[in-house]
Chain A
Amino acid sequence: MEINNNQLLRFTTAGSVDDGKSTLIGRLLYDSKSIFEDQLKAIENTSRKRGHDGVDLALFTDGLRDEREQGITIDVAYRYFTTPKRKFIIADTPGHIQYTRNMVTGASTANAAIILIDARHGVIEQTKRHAFIASLLNIPHVIVCINKMDLTDFSEDVYNEIIKQFEAFSSKFIVMDIRFIPISALLGDNVVHRSENMPWYKGAALLHTLETIHVSSDYNKVDARFPVQTVLRPQRERFLDYRGYAGRVSSGVLRKGDEVTVMPSGFSSVIDSIQGPSGSLEEAFAPMSVSITLKDDIDVGRGDMIVRSTNIPEASQDIEVWLCWLHDNSAKPRAKYTIRHTTNEQKAIIKEVVYKIDINTLGRNNEDKELNMNDICKVRIRTTKPLMIDPYRENRSTGSIILVDENTNETVAAGMIV
């Protein structure tokens, strides 16, 4: 296989129990010939041992022993496959326990989300939650797969009815790009190959859709943001004067000669050089890892952000965020946490819970202000020093934060800046 200009697509899968999510992933891997012979043999043996007819494709995504014994999926698992057009990373998140936490985690890095609906049941509460989280995490592309079409006689009416149900509630959310595909993961219809059983469906099969979704427009190319990870000061004769600011471009484009400002100090300078992974560059863009030198000798360190002088993020100590609580230990009122935002780290307190989202009705709950595992709330946070923020909707990288419990060092919450 040649090294080519294939892109990477990261997607997450959401479905409730028995929607056929594992079967769908197994089918994608199997039909795209990403399964090795020894894996197939192992799955055939297990299928036989458990008395299944034929090969149970769902077993490809079977994980740890605890999961096999209990027939459940713990946590997020990552799967990989490649077609001649793209490389794919699947964040496979389980449907039941700790489901919000896991889907939020899987969705945070995804370009696309697949939401599965059982054609027999139509849109259910879980579907609404999945769509809400995809919208909250600002996943650019959502593909709704209406599965088990084989159990509804491949009926076009069933398909259309479900689209209508979905659109009726999803119009409240902002999703940039949404598509519907009728499939049978079990039989393979419209997964990798187009279905012969549903000639009325004129759209593309799922794999073709994943291969052709336009992802390069998903990055914010306007706001140049460069959070500094570390400073490179080589103690080597040839580079004694070198002072490189190492980091990954969060968004936008940075060019040699650009006038830039270092936040929060506000000092300005000009980009002198950009060192990329394979040599010096004229410009750098997201998500490239580079190191930058400036014309002037100013004080820059980890946690600072280099931005274009004509386009500066907001510096704020009071931020409003959508917070998803990820930990068994509930939030304590006015407790201090460590807040991590890009490479910056400060102390923070949750000043106020504005309201909680009732994940079942998607309505506001103004009474219950407790932050428990899997809760999603709008909160106000106060930090000890200003953070350089952008709204999450405009910038996933400079618009996201996590909270860390100082007593346990655990990551307890993820937040999206409003």
Chain B
Amino acid sequence: MNKYFLNYLDELESEAIYVLREVWAQFQNPVILFSGGKDSIVVTHLAKKAFYPSKIPFALMHVDTGHNFPETIKFRDDLVNSLEVRLIVGSVQESINQGRVAEEQGKHATRNALQITTLLDTIEVNKIDCAIGGGRRDEEKARAKERFFSHRDDFGQWDPKNQRPELWNIFNGKHFEGEHFRVFPISNWTEMDVWNYIKREQIEIPSLYIAHEREVVWRNDSWIPNSEFLTLHENEKIVTKKIRFRTLGDITITGGLESEADSLEKIVNEVAAMRQTERGNRTDDKRSENAMEDRKKQGYF
């Protein structure tokens, strides 16, 4: 075989680095949306490579629902310190205190939808014109139609019927005052690619992704972690299981799966053998068939 070819991971890596550098060149005040999940960790890792030996020229922005895994917050703070980047936190609790949003009621209440307001407020207050996210097109059908450079109007809304065509690798980030872009450098990566890349690069990830013993309760076909926010329903019982998380969201909605995978090697093998999509354990997506589409239109991640 010809020596001048890249394997798929190298090609995806170079594509993402190219996109991140375009963001830097085309926007005034970009940030990386950092959730503490593996996808935003990979994006941050790629940003480090894209601008080396300079520091990452973007702040990390975290939308803090107040319903976090403690591990996620520690991981975030350690990473911010080691990269010497600025951290911007948008707080859902503050949005609630200010009366911008109201807490959901009922036993299935979560703060998932409330994040949208906090996210958009934080973008506006900090005059952010580009928010870089770890979204991937393989995650969900609404995301399959997403662009690398995704335009949002001055209400932060996405209009799937009226997206800018994206040709070759020429990205058009032109926008008016008050509008912003969401940019997704790892659009073309699948869950498997992300894990293979984490393994290859030996990227540090929160311990939550690795099998560990934890108090959990069985709900909606997955293991929901015990926390101060958990209200037990009738017939539910807290048990201790060896689990790991496949995605990380709020502690109230992220279900774990029973697993013995306590190393990256084992996780990659386990993911390869999975027969369920990764968002299958997210109760936020289970609300309706169009759950993601509706939230995205309003300005969700």
Contact = CB atoms under 8 A, between A and B. Distances in A.
Interface of A: 1, 3-8, 36-39, 42, 62-66, 74-80, 82, 86-87, 89, 101-102, 104-105, 108-109, 215-217, 219, 221, 229-230, 232-236, 238-239, 242, 244, 246-248, 253, 275, 277-278, 285, 287-289, 291, 302, 326, 338, 340-343, 396-397, 400-402, 404, 409-411, 414
A105 B293 contact: no
A66 B144 contact: no
B276 A78 contact: no
6 contacts: A5-B1, A64-B141, A215-B5, A236-B55, A248-B17, A275-B52
Interface in B1-16: 1-2, 4-15
A402 B172 contact: yes
A234 B169 contact: no
B232 interface: no
Given A75-B160, A105-B167, A402-B172, A230 B24 contact: yes
Contact of A64 (B11, B142, B200): B142
B47 to A, nearest CB: 12
A87 B193 contact: yes
A80 B190 contact: yes
Given A65-B293, A287-B14, A302 B25 contact: yes
A238 B12 CA distance: 30
Given A285-B4, A291-B52, A338-B174, 9 more contacts: A1-B272, A3-B200, A64-B141, A64-B145, A66-B160, A102-B165, A246-B50, A278-B49, A397-B168
B165 A63 contact: no
B268 interface: yes
A256 to B, nearest CB: 16
A239 B54 CA distance: 8
User: 4 tightest CB-CB pairs across the interface, nearest first?
Assistant: A216-B5, A289-B17, A409-B174, A234-B54
A82 B7 CA distance: 13
Nearest to A108: B167
B138 interface: yes
Contacts of A217: 2
A360 to B, nearest CB: 23
Given A87-B8, A238-B53, A411-B165, A248 B18 contact: yes
Contacts, number: 189
B161 A66 contact: yes
B137 interface: yes
B247 interface: no
Contact of A5 (B7, B144, B190, B275): B7
B231 interface: no
B53 A236 contact: yes
Interface size class of B (residues with CB under 8 A): 35 or more
A334 B97 CA distance: 55
A7 B6 CA distance: 7
A409 B4 contact: no
B7 A6 contact: yes
Interface in B184-213: 187-188, 190, 192-193, 196, 199-200
Contact of A277 (B17, B145, B192, B193): B17
A59 B289 CA distance: 13
A293 B177 CA distance: 36
Contact of A230 (B8, B21, B274): B21
Nearest to A291: B52
B172 A288 contact: no
Contacts of A402: 167, 170, 172
B57 to A, nearest CB: 9
A234 B7 contact: no
Contacts of A278: 49
A235 B55 CA distance: 8
Contacts of B174: 338, 404, 409
Contact of A216 (B2, B137, B165, B168): B2
Contacts of B24: 230
B163 A75 contact: yes
Contacts of B277: 36, 38-39
A234 B170 contact: no
Nearest to A239: B53
A38 B272 contact: no
Contacts of A326: 165
B172 A340 contact: yes
Q: Which of A37, A236, A402 has the most CB of B within 10 A?
A: A402
B166 interface: yes
A78 B4 contact: no
A232 B51 contact: yes
B168 A400 contact: yes
Contacts of B268: 1
Contact of A400 (B13, B170, B190, B275): B170
Q: Which of B22, B145, B167, B269 has the most CB of A within 10 A?
A: B167
A244 B51 CA distance: 9
Contact of A77 (B145, B168, B293): B145
A75 B150 CA distance: 14
Nearest to B271: A1
A261 to B, nearest CB: 22
Nearest to B5: A216
Q: Which of A229, A302, A342 has the most CB of B within 10 A?
A: A229
A48 B224 CA distance: 32
Contacts of B86: none
Contact of A36 (B10, B142, B269, B276): B276
Contacts of B100: none
B160 A64 contact: yes
Contacts of B6: 7, 287-288
Nearest to B25: A230
Contacts of B160: 64, 66, 74-75
Contacts of B51: 232, 246
A109 B168 contact: yes
Given A80-B137, A242-B53, A248 B169 contact: yes
Given A38-B277, A108-B167, A229-B21, A63 B145 contact: yes
A54 to B, nearest CB: 20
B272 A409 contact: no
Contacts of A410: 164
Contact of A287 (B11, B49, B137, B163): B11
Q: Which of A63, A246, A401 has the most CB of B within 10 A?
A: A246
A402 B165 CA distance: 10
